[in-house]
Amino acid sequence: MIEVKNSIINKIYQDYNTMILTRKQVAIILNKSTSTIDRWRKKGLYLEYSKVGNTKNATIEYTLNDIAEYIISNKIKVV
């Protein structure tokens, strides 16, 4: 399982060259709309995230590790 996770992390890292992802990047990786990602976040579903900055202009960020965990637990194919 660890090898699968590392493979997913490496694939995404090669594509985005970062360990921290924006909601737009997450939407592309998971083949979901940004609206779906936002809805999940507001309902507290599926993905861990961090808010960076003050509440009005906060940036939402996701870690590559958390996205890999979600992909594995939901058996999503990364192409």
Six-digit token pair at 39? 């809805």
Structure confidence at residue 35 (pLDDT): 96
pLDDT, greater one: 45 or 79: 45
Task: Check residue 78 and give its pLDDT.
Answer: 60
Q: Which two tokens stand for residue 65?
A: 């590790």
Mean pLDDT of 14-25: 89
Asked if residue 60 belongs to a domain, the reply is: yes
CATH number (domain holding residue 19): 1.10.1660
Say if residue 13's pLDDT is above 90. Answer: no
pTM over 0.85: no
Query: Which range marks the domain in which residue 32 is found?
Result: 2-73
Q: Is residue 79 domain-resident?
A: no
Number of structural domains (the chain) is: 1
Over range 24-43, report the average pLDDT. 93
